[in-house]
Amino acid sequence: MDYQLIEYLTECLTPERKALFEKVLEQRTRYLTVVLEDIFQPQNASAVLRSVDCFGLQDLHVIENRNEFTVDREVAMGASKWLTVKKYQGQENNSLDAIRHLRQQGYRIVATTPHDGDTNLEDFDLAKGKAALFFGTELTGISDVVKREADEFLKIPMYGFTESFNISVSAAIILHYLTYKMHGDSNIDWSLTEEEKATIKLSWIKRTLKRSELLEERYNELKKEGKL
């Protein structure tokens, strides 16, 4: 990581933007992450993306088996600009590819479902370790692959006639409760590492500054000339 480059580019930001980046980075986490499997309605996908950013999660994982992930910019309100989005596509089984990748990163695979026998949201053991929360398609929910591979199942208690919430509502409810719980538990190490913060900050700066590639070229020239 070129910390000197980050410092150089940071000087091009307004004081307000610098302070905002630092404030948000201190609250960012990868302890929780969201996985969207084959979402086909742009409004729903975009609303989830917005919630992921609002509740301080950095990563969003998108599985494209049959449906392509598209963002409704009016709904997302620019949230994708600040998130790290990883897509799984083009493999024989994209869902299984995503599960393997997340397990390698130390995540529990947590499938969200409305069925009996699953763990109620209030009873979910957050301190047990990092969790990847899987949300399935609007009509059929998570796939059989995810159901078969999941380490745990999570549901929101419901008391009405309707079987489940809209996916974007479900994600918002779950993320609100779990991030509230996470921030209140001093035994959970949910913060980003300093290197993660630096990497994310650099990506934010590059997305914020106009013609940032020219600034980076200028930085490299100055460095070669020994002026930095």
CATH 2.30.140.10 is right for the domain spanning 29-190: no
Q: Where are the domains of the chain?
A: 1-28+193-228, 29-190
51 burial class (0-12, 13-18, 19+ CB within 10 angstroms)?
A: buried
With a pLDDT cut of 70, the percent of the chain lying above it is 95
With a cut of 90, say whether residue 32 has pLDDT above it.
yes
Distance of CA 116 to the CA centre of its chain: 27
60: closest CA among 82, 37, 41, 86? Answer: 86
Taking 70 as the threshold, does the pLDDT of residue 65 lie above it? yes
pLDDT in tens, 89-131: 988 899 999 999 999 999 999 999 877 678 999 999 999 999 9
Tens of pLDDT, residue by residue over 141-166, are 899 999 999 999 999 988 898 878 88
**Given this model, what pLDDT does residue 46 score?**
87
Both structure tokens of 96:
């299984």
Across 180-194, average pLDDT: 97
**HEC-encoded secondary structure of 73-142:** HHHHCCHHHHCEEEEECCCCCHHHHHHHHHHHCCCEEEEECCCCCCEEHHHCCHHHCCEEEEECECCCEC
Specify the pLDDT at position 76: 46
| Model pLDDT for residues 10-29, shown as the tens digit of each residue | 999 999 999 999 999 999 99
Torsion of CA 75, 209, 198, 61, to 10 degrees: 30
User: Is the separation of the CB atoms in 54 and 29 below 8 Å?
Assistant: no
Its pTM stands at: 0.92
